[in-house]
Amino acid sequence: MSASTTATLRHDWTLAEVKALFTQPFNDLLFQAQTVHRAHFDANRVQVSTLLSIKTGACPEDCKYCPQSGHYNTGLEKEKLLEVQKVLEEAARAKAIGSTRFCMGAAWKHPSAKDMPYVLEMVKGVKAMGLETCMTLGKLDQEQTEALAQAGLDYYNHNLDTSPEFYGSIITTRTYSERLQTLAYVRDAGMKICSGGILGMGESLDDRAGLLIQLANLPEHPESVPINMLVKVAGTPLENADDVDPFDFIRMLAVARILMPQSHVRLSAGREAMNEQMQALAFFAGANSIFYGDKLLTTANPQADKDMQLFARLGIQPEAREEHADEVHQAAIEQALVEQKSSEQFYNAVV
């Protein structure tokens, strides 16, 4: 299958086709993914987002990978919904270090009526700063979805996590069809979709292919597709899961890029455990979005200055916002990268 045939948008991928992509020689797969990537994106630009947990722990869901689940004892300190002003202060810090999108996550099965007004104020406040807004709040009904859209929410994150066939082995408190329904509400309300999954939960190759097929065969591809590597947390049922082979993880990114040519493929959770060479290979495979900052909700993430150093070494620049880009702010980010590259601190960095 040539790269040119996969540069067009398709919504009819079959399991046999996707498995054939996964199992072709590694170099052929990466060449195909990079060719598709360059047809739709600047290969040396990466979108950067910051993720903040606005409500932590005590989630009623039983997702076996999640330290925030109230079903497991992981030692995570529970926190109530953050005050709106605190969230806006964190958003301002995120913008100052170069993020263009601010994502807010709450450990809920679904948002309650009493919390929605505060959530909507957060969206409005972050939007007013010139940042793109993203939230993950669990399952939504149609009314809640429309309220978020009216408040100015740009993206809603709702991961499918894995294939429909393997899903029941990981989560029993919410159905796969409920997840798909939330995505449909988000799309109908005019918002963009952020949806992906997790590798390393004991899934098969068919499950990895099945997850990508679910996403790629949606009526419209998600604008953002986060690919996570399981962060094993003591106290969760998956704390002793087998490690993901690094090449298998890169293959997942590459196949996601081929199936969804115009989507941002996000190198997401698990990046803390990846060395710089693996991250560079991930960008070559078509990943062009990262979370930027010290934490992803409750797990560690490479520090922002280390990301700056890696970007400088690879010649990568942060992607500007597509709408209402702040050119002065973007220029400041790029100048900071140049200064970082030439600084003594950069050359003395441990790699």
Q: Among the options 174, 179, 194, 208, which is catalytic? A: 194
Which residues, including other chains, have CB under 8 Å from residue 340's CB and lie 6 or more apart? 305, 308, 309, 312, 346
Determine if residue 174 is labeled as part of a ligand binding site.
Answer: no
Is 321 considered catalytic here? no
Does 257 appear as a known binding residue?
Answer: no
**Residue 321 among known ligand-binding residues:** no
Give the number of C-alpha atoms closer than 13 A to the C-alpha of residue 335, restricted to the C-beta side.
Answer: 6
59 is in an annotated binding site: yes
Helix spans in the chain (H): 3-6, 15-23, 26-40, 84-96, 116-128, 142-151, 164-167, 176-188, 205-216, 246-259, 276-284, 304-314, 327-342, 344-347
Residue holding tokens 């987002």?
Answer: 49
Closest alpha carbon to 187 in 148, 161, 213, 160: 148
**101 classed as catalytic:** no
Rounded CA-CA distance 66/61 in Å is 9
Name the active-site residue from 101, 208, 266, 271.
266
- Cα-trace Rg, the chain: 19
134 catalytic residue (yes or no): yes
From 101, 134, 208, 271, active-site residue: 134
93 annotated as ligand-binding: no
Q: Which token pair is 104?
A: 């807010």
* Amino acid (1-letter code) at residue 77: E
10 is in an annotated binding site: no
Contact 70, 236 (CB under 8 A): no
Cα–Cα distance, 253 to 282 (Å, whole number): 7
User: Is 208 one of the annotated binding-site residues?
Assistant: no
313 is catalytic: no
Left (φ > 0), alpha (ψ -120 to 50) or beta: where does 289 sit? beta
Residues 6+ apart with CB under 8 A from 127: 133, 151, 152, 153, 154
Write down the catalytic residue from 101, 103, 208, 251.
Answer: 103
Active site residue 59: yes
Q: Identity (one letter) of the amino acid at 202?
A: G
251 is catalytic: no
Binding site members for [4Fe-4S] cluster? 59, 63, 66
Binding site members? 59, 63, 66, 103, 134, 194, 266
Binding site members for [2Fe-2S] cluster? 103, 134, 194, 266
Active-site annotation, residues: 59, 63, 66, 103, 134, 194, 266
